[in-house]
């Protein structure tokens, strides 16, 4: 999962999230489900890693939007965004190593889906 996450982040630096999700989920989903990873966990993981790539320079589209709104340079926005990436990365690590908390409430109400 970590390798897939690194791939999503690197690709997300140059490609927007929606095309990235459409293209690469079709590739990775069969692999991930064959490894026994819950599809909901993989969906949350995919969206979070795509968002990290979307916020990461050099071509993070959100950076250009924030730059335009705030009238700051891309460099200033990039420096301001870097500390905000730390919680994202921590959540990705929690998701990869302790994925049971993602589906805890649905499993509690509906029972395990496996």
For 45, the domain range is: 10-15+38-98
State the DSSP code for 34: H
Residue 61 has a pLDDT of: 75
Domains identified in the chain, total number = 1
Angle at 63 between CA 60 and CA 66, to 5 degrees: 155
CA distance 81 to 89: 13
- Is residue 31 in some structural domain? no
Give this prediction's pTM: 0.83
- Is residue 43 in some structural domain? yes
Residues 6 or more apart in contact with residue 113 via CB below 8 angstroms: 38, 103, 106, 107
Residue 86 has a pLDDT of: 92
Residue 54 has a pLDDT of: 83
Binned average pLDDT, 10 residues per bin, the chain of 114 residues:
92 86 93 91 92 81 86 88 90 90 85 72
Residues 6 or more apart in contact with residue 44 via CB below 8 angstroms: 95, 102
């Amino acid at each position: 999962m970590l390798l897939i996450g690194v791939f999503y982040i690197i690709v997300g630096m140059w490609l927007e999230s929606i095309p990235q999700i459409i293209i690469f989920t079709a590739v990775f989903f069969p692999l991930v489900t064959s490894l026994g990873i819950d599809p909901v966990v993989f969906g949350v993981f995919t969206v979070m890693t795509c968002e990290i790539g979307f916020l990461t320079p050099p071509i993070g589209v959100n950076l250009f939007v924030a730059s335009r709104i705030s009238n700051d340079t891309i460099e200033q926005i990039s420096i301001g965004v870097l500390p905000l990436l730390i919680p994202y990365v921590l959540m990705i690590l929690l998701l990869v190593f302790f994925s049971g908390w993602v589906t805890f409430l649905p499993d509690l109400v509906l029972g395990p889906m496996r």
